[in-house]
Every structure is written in C-alpha cells, then in structure tokens.
Structure 1
Amino acid sequence: MATVTNPSVDELEKREEELFRTGPLSVLTTSVKSNSQVLINCRNNRKLLGRVKAFDRHCNMILENVKEMWTEIPKTGKGKKGSTPVNKDRFIPKLFIRGDSVILVLRNPK
C-alpha cells in the first residue's frame, strides 16, 4: 500500500507561487510587479481603472489611484422620454475590493 504524505508548508507556498506566476492570477501578479494599470469589471456594473498593490487567491485586491466609471440614466420628473444615459466617474486614492464582486480583470494595453 502506498502512503499518502501531506505536503509541507514550504511545498504549499511553492505551489501557490507557481499558480500565481502561470495561472489566471498571473495578470494580477505581473500588474503588481510592473505597477501597471488594470481594468476591473465589477458586479455592480461599474468599472475600476487602477494599480494593484496586493491581492490574494480570492481576488480580494488593494488598489491605488482608482478611477471608478459607471453610467446613470437620469430620472426626469416630466415622464420617461428624453432621458439619455450619462457617463460618470470619480477618483478614489485607495480602495479595497472584495473578490466576489470581481467579474473580469484586464491589463491596460498602454
């Protein structure tokens, strides 16, 4: 019978590091190392453009110099005709975002 050995803490850390370098989280890893911007599409239908300072395996992230962008349809008091969507944005210097609200992360092509 073969014995099953539990991996040591060092081996687990090496595996996780390898996954961060080669797997889907490699986009975040390269962004942290190169201090480049990423575009994050969120579940609240907003987009975040900023620099990733730290992240974990759940896609929780700490972001800096974030521009949050969204579209609002203004509510008019005189009926529902003629209301055109308005693009809005705001600047957030430091932001923590929970991973469960992240849909997509894209590298900035610049």
Structure 2
Amino acid sequence: MTLEELQKREEEEFNMGPLPVLTQSVKNNTQVLISCRNKKLLGRVKASDRHRNMVLEKVKDVWTKVPTNGRSKKSKPVNEDHYISKMVLCGDSVIVVLRNPLMHRQQERTCPLRWE
C-alpha cells in the first residue's frame, strides 16, 4: 500500500463511524460527553487519534457515590463532580463518545427543521 493510499484510507476512517464526532468537536470547539469505565466526562476535545486517545480541556468529571451511614446502611446515591482544566485521556478507557446532549437540544430548538 502506498503512502497516498494509506493517507486516503485514514482520512476516510476519520469521516466515517464514531470518529466524526471527535473531529467535529475539535474543529468547532464543541462539548462532548465521554462515558468511561467508572465515570463520565463533559469537556472540549482539543486533539484525538484513531485509538480514541484525547486531549481534553474544561472538563467536568462526574461520578456517583453511595455513602454509608454508620452500620453499613446504604443511603441514596449522590452525584459528585470536579473540574479539570486540561487532561489526556487514554482511549482504552473510553466506552461511548456523544455530542453534548444539552447543546444538541438547544440547537434543535433554535434551528428547527422545516419540511415543506
């Protein structure tokens, strides 16, 4: 396989499947929701590769914690979060990458599709 064919194939891979979500996020500086093994990340992708390794900025790290009261009695789960300004995320911990659902809903409300 020549170098040109390899580059063309790699470009096609980035335009098909799940990778366009990442490439569009990098180009448009939009937020994505990333589901990892034990938490969810909401942030902006600055760079990514085909292995789903990512450089993220302005990340909100969210997880669920079940507190215990005294004699190992479980209470209601509590969502906890914290802010990370910049981070590198290893692609093998990524399960799902979605466009920010809240931003997507706002765009649908402001720019509804009209079929005429």
TM-score category, normalised to shorter length: 0.7 to 0.9
Say which of 34, 39, 45 aligns to 1:40: 34
2:56 corresponds to 1:63: yes
Work out the percentage of aligned pairs sharing the same amino acid: 64
The CA RMSD over aligned residues, in Å, is 1.2
Alignment gaps of 5+ in structure 2 = 104-116
Instruction: Report the Cα distance in structure 1 between the residues aligned to 2:42 and 2:14, rounded to whole angstroms.
Output: 21
What code does the residue aligned with 1:98 have?
C
TM-score (norm 2): 0.82
What code does the residue aligned with 2:31 have?
Q
Say which of 65, 73, 77 aligns to 1:72: 65
Moved over 4 A (4+): none
How many pairs align? 102
Alignment gaps of 5+ in structure 1 = 1-6
Question: Which has the larger share of helix?
Answer: 2
Q: Provide the secondary structure at the position in 2 that maps to 1:92.
A: strand
Instruction: Report the Cα distance in structure 2 between the residues aligned to 1:62 and 1:13, rounded to whole angstroms.
Output: 22
Q: CA deviation at 1:11?
A: 1.9
2:22 corresponds to 1:28: yes
